[in-house]
Homo-oligomer: A and B are copies of this chain.
Amino acid sequence: MSVSDLSDLEVIRVLVVDDHPVVRAGLRAMLAGTVGFAVVGEAANGDGIAELALRTRPDVVLMDLRMGAGVDGVGATAALVALANPPRVLVLTVYDTDQDILRAIEAGATGYLLKDAPPETLLDAIRRAAAGETVLAAPVAGRLARRVRSPEPALTSRELEILGHVAAGRTNRDIATELHLSEATVKSHVAHIYVKLGVDSRAAATSTAITRGLIRTSGPGQTAGPPTG
């Protein structure tokens, strides 16, 4: 009972959404040790984020993008900006891939920061976000600028689907069978993918797809079991 009772005046009310307890503790500590900020709530994922926002009435929501379980950052951001009196959503993540950045901004995020940002930068960003200003981390801004200068053609959903199978090591024929297509059609899609990615082989396409976050790799979770003997 102290700062948070000053009835919204001068104090920026912050809601922290991050699945890492350590990160939440860090943000809480940083904001508690600075005048002008009040952490009004926390969540480990996007589940019920709208209700939480209505209850805690934050000015700024610090949002992690990828969270282990539950609604992810993009979905939570979309849910928040759809509110009647939406808070500003400031994405705070370790990932700076084009895909993540674009999806977050499209979802309505006011800013995009990286977790390795120094405290002053972070505090300043929250203030700017609260004021309605768009704030982007330098590397993020660079990516967006580069993207505008040389717009990378977006893959269609069909192409992304095919790309996923290609990265999984499937042959054109396998993909054709699985998607109920002609092999010629698959080859056509693959050729288009190559052009758009600036690539000329399945391996290179796979590499590009993964590093750009175009496809979701199941990760090395299920080991294919090499010799298995």
Q: What residues make up the interface of A, taking CB atoms closer than 8 Å to B?
A: 19-30, 68, 92, 94, 97-98, 115-119, 122, 146, 150, 152-153, 166-169, 171, 195-208, 210-213, 217-220, 223-228
Contact = CB atoms under 8 A, between A and B. Distances in A.
Contacts of A200: 169
A202 B199 contact: no
A226 B169 contact: no
A195 to B, nearest CB: 7
Contacts of A25: 25-27, 29-30, 119
A61 to B, nearest CB: 16
5 contacts: A20-B115, A21-B118, A153-B227, A195-B226, A208-B220
Given A21-B116, A22-B26, A152 B226 contact: yes
Given A122-B22, A197-B224, A198-B226, A166 B203 contact: yes
Contacts of A208: 220, 224
B206 A115 contact: no
Contact of A26 (B27, B150, B211, B226): B27
A218 B212 CA distance: 11
